[in-house]
Amino acid sequence: MTTQKVTGSKALILSLLEEGVDTIFGYPGGAIMPIYDALYDFDKKVKHILTRHEQGAVHAAEGYARVSGKAGVCFATSGPGATNLMTGIADAMIDSTPLVCITGQVASPLLGTDAFQESDVVGMSIPVTKWNYQVTNAEEIPEAIAQAFYISQSGRPGPVLIDITKDAQFGELDFKYEKCKKIRSYVPETPVDPFKIKEAAEIIDAAKRPLVLFGHGVIIGNAENEFKAFIEKTGIPAAWTLLGLSALPSDHILNVGMLGMHGNYGPNLLTNEADVVIAVGMRFDDRVTGKVSEYASKAKIIHLEIDPAEIDKIIKADVAVLGNSKKSLKMLTDNVNKNSHNDWVARFRDCDYTENEKIIQNELFPEKPGLTMGEVIRITGDKTNHEAILVSDVGQHQMVASRYFKFRKSKSNVTSGGLGTMGFGLPASVGAQFGALDRTVVAVIGDGGFQMTIQELGTIAQNKLPIKIIILNNNFLGMVRQWQQMFFDKRYSFTELQNPDFITIAKGFGVTGHKVEVREDLENGIQKMIDHNGPYLLEVVIEKEDNVFPMVPTGASVSEIVLEH
């Protein structure tokens, strides 16, 4: 293998190119300046997207990763630059999103001296990274980057962080690059046990009321086809977690809706009537289970999961099948009998009818004068032919968008799940657009979350990204206000917002916008947004006290789901 003499900074860029990196999100500063200087010579080979804040860079990298299936890459300088990444790194960790985060650091002789813009980024990121490493010698850079990409993207994915001191960036080395294929003592996935597969298959074949719960692991494992084949052979109804959304087409006959606190009536109510629950690539999050002691009380639990740490962590499994979901689902499908559960599936459809009568019709086709979140989502989905990528922030609008936006393609739902990060939506839409340049990206954001990362309108404008942004504006921190209404006697403690003129602000950034306040203007407003050649901001003023139902109250069993307050 030939070598060339280069600086550590150039070695970093060459290493990223060897890993197929085509887009980097970042923000320069003093301690990472040598890397940015090296990047200057590679502008034809890799795009660098200058965000307006480091948190914007890491959320953009998440959006890119979630849509492209590749590791997202972001740069930040030392001190506050590095600390500003932490929220996004924590978000990526809990949502199993592959990231490679590169931070600059003060020169190695200054480490531990409280030098200007020094922070212990390695120490503080340990709990929220899959792996991290500090480079103090230029010769370490190629191997560190190779390991970073391998660890980030293998097994259960996650974020890694490489902190590079300034002297390592200036130092020289003989560059050669070898991709990492294994690391001693690191086992990214367990081989699927055929005996566990047979044990699970026997339970599934004997089931009368089985229910599949599918999560992000189906999408991460590229197992959408295998999953679809499994449920179609067995005839088992399937319900999705928030991050499992889009793994199965919304209109599939066996798709029975969303699990969890604001999920659909059927999959929540009937979980406690199921005799077998097959969990695929999901971790039994508390928002899914409700009261754990009363969850799936009549069911045997079969858990297909790549991460051994998730087995028996919340819900004890009768049969645990470790391994990649693409492999385990194929093996399971080969071992189960062809079946149907028409009467059982009909129970879910009966619940759909009840939910539709009490909630959905009023949300999607309201007769009241005020605009609802649901009708905005319905019209937007229809106008984009249900083929757009939906990026949502966190709050009421996130739940409504997830419930009513329809999907035909996988990797089409980008949202913050486990950490629930307000401010995620706008920068994540930037990354999602770069991850799928040929697709329409619709960002649905609440007025509160939008103001947390509003500056990323500048990133969108500078890069002329045709992102369609919808602000659902109720002048409240809506989800908190709903809880205050229901559980705190309408004591709206510091949740009402005095909002700015969003359209004027967007115009200041160079983004065209329009405000809709009455139903007569809504459909045309959405159509105008979609037809516009370039980024567009549509602000829709919705009812101030528009709530999200159904709802499983905190601490309640999923079968205690309520349809109205």
What's the pLDDT score for residue 60? 98
Is residue 367 over pLDDT 60?
Answer: yes
Q: How many domains does the chain have?
A: 3
Query: Does residue 126 belong to any structural domain of this protein?
Result: yes
| pTM of the shown model | 0.96
116 included as an active-site residue: yes
Phi-psi region of 120 (alpha: psi -120 to 50; beta: other; left: phi over 0): beta
Residue type, 222: N
Query: Does residue 13 belong to any structural domain of this protein?
Result: yes
CB 7 within 8 A of CB 38: yes
CB 378 within 8 A of CB 470: no
Task: Give per-residue pLDDT as tens, 278-295.
Answer: 999 999 999 999 999 999
What CATH number did the domain enclosing 65 receive?
A: 3.40.50.970
Of 4, 45, 116, 176, which one is the catalytic site residue?
116
Q: In terms of domains, do 140 and 222 share one?
A: no
pLDDT band at 565 (very low <50, low <70, confident <90, very high): low
269-273, 362-366, 541-545, 555-559: which has the minimum mean pLDDT?
A: 541-545
What's the pLDDT score for residue 210? 98
Task: Residue 149: give the domain boundaries.
Answer: 4-175
pLDDT (mean) for 80-96 = 98
The token duo for 332 is 């399971």
208 included as an active-site residue: no
C-alpha distances in Å from residue 349, one per residue of 247, 378, 410: 21, 20, 24
Q: In terms of domains, do 200 and 344 share one?
A: yes
Of 258, 399, 479, 529, which one is the catalytic site residue?
479
Q: In terms of domains, do 378 and 277 share one?
A: no
117 included as an active-site residue: yes
Q: In terms of domains, do 273 and 336 share one?
A: yes
484 included as an active-site residue: no
Q: In terms of domains, do 151 and 237 share one?
A: no
Is residue 9 over pLDDT 70?
Answer: yes
Query: Does residue 563 belong to any structural domain of this protein?
Result: no
DSSP, residue by residue, 377-401: HHHHHHHTTT-SEEEE-SSHHHHHH
Q: In terms of domains, do 319 and 386 share one?
A: no
Q: In terms of domains, do 466 and 416 share one?
A: yes
Q: In terms of domains, do 233 and 307 share one?
A: yes
Is residue 1 over pLDDT 60?
Answer: no
Task: Give per-residue pLDDT as tens, 307-343.
Answer: 999 999 999 999 999 999 999 999 999 999 999 999 9
135-139, 462-466, 482-486: which has the minimum mean pLDDT?
A: 482-486
Q: How far apart are CA 513 and CA 508, in angstroms?
A: 11
Of 42, 117, 233, 528, which one is the catalytic site residue?
117
Q: In terms of domains, do 410 and 511 share one?
A: yes
What's the pLDDT score for residue 4? 86
Of 10, 25, 54, 330, which one is the catalytic site residue?
54
**H or E stretch including 373?**
helix 373-383
300 included as an active-site residue: no
User: Long-range contacts made by residues 113-116, C-beta under 8 angstroms, separation at least 24?
Assistant: 116/79
Of 70, 130, 166, 300, which one is the catalytic site residue?
166
Q: In terms of domains, do 36 and 150 share one?
A: yes
Query: Does residue 359 belong to any structural domain of this protein?
Result: no
